Amino acid sequence: MTNSPDKTPTAVLIGVTGGFGHPLAKLLANEGYRLVLAARRESDAAALTGRSDGSAIYVRADVADPASLKELAAAAFEHLGRIDAVVNLAGISPRKAIGEYTQTDVDSMLEVNVKGPIFVTQAFLPGLLEQAGGSVIVHVGGAMDGRVGLPFMSAYAASRGALAGYVQASNRELDGTGVALSFFGPAPANTESESAYFDMWHEMGVDLVEPETVAGEILTTIRKRRQQHVMGGLMLRMMSAVNAVSPSAADVIGLRKFGKLMTQYHPR
């Protein structure tokens, strides 16, 4: 991957106030990256910037606001010169029964999980296409590959499936340009947002990973410009692959069992 003129790698992190934001910013800074950090909550992101070594700046941005993302892109290119990676960490994941998702829930997921990645890509793509060398836009999605539907995640699964389709279609359109999009599926992690489901994942036999581990896998995705990266060990990757070909076969090898366990933790 070609870096900025002085060979220093560069990245823009969006949604840095979530569970993976600080570990990823810290890791990239330690790896020598110059950073632009963005989030809706100015105080949290500004504090994160203040803990860096001075190689990062903060820009307020909202993935649901295309104008703010264009301003972010302009500021990032001005500060960094060129951009090797854009990582969109923003996402929401309400888990409810089919009939319990409210209009507000659905609208919020569409704004952040579907429109957000589209607007992020549109804001940065022109500049990425103009610069020399390869670059990647990493969209952090849900567990597995975005195409696996599990109980009490119906509307959420729809939003992540939309993202997976968007990334796939965009990569076919961008083939040969030097720019790639990536769908990154993190493993269930030891974060505050996942804390209510620790026992469920343990009973499923899925080991929770630390946010720092997820950050390391995102760095690998950046360096290798992978179009898809699914965490969670061999079992979850296998289920994702089988489900893409035959959902009924995926049920037999484990997804039906997962679904029954999830139902126990989300009683109707």
Q: Say which residues have a Cβ less than 8 Å from residue 253's Cβ, sequence separation at least 6.
A: 238, 239, 242
Q: Has 33 been annotated as catalytic? A: no
Q: Tell me the CB-side half-sphere exposure of residue 51, using CA atoms within 13 A.
A: 13
Q: How many whole angstroms separate alpha carbon 18 and alpha carbon 197?
A: 17
User: How would you class 218 by CB atoms within 10 Å of its CB: exposed for 0-12, middle for 13-18, buried for 19 or more?
Assistant: buried
Kindly state the tokens that stand for 127.
Answer: 């500049």
Catalytic position from the list 33, 101, 156, 166: 156
Residue 71: enclosing H or E segment and its boundaries?
helix 66-80
Q: What is the dihedral of CA 165, 169, 175, 179, to 10 degrees?
A: -60
Query: Can you give the C-alpha Rg of the chain in angstroms?
Result: 18
Contact 52, 25 (CB under 8 A): yes
Among all chains, which residue has been given the structure tokens 């929770």? 208
Q: Distance of alpha carbon 149 from its chain centroid, rounded? A: 18
- Distance of alpha carbon 251 from alpha carbon 166, whole angstroms: 25
Q: Is 120 exposed, middle or buried (0-12, 13-18, 19+ CB in 10 A)?
A: buried
Write out the H or E segment, with its range, that includes residue 223.
helix 211-224
Just list the catalytic residues: 156
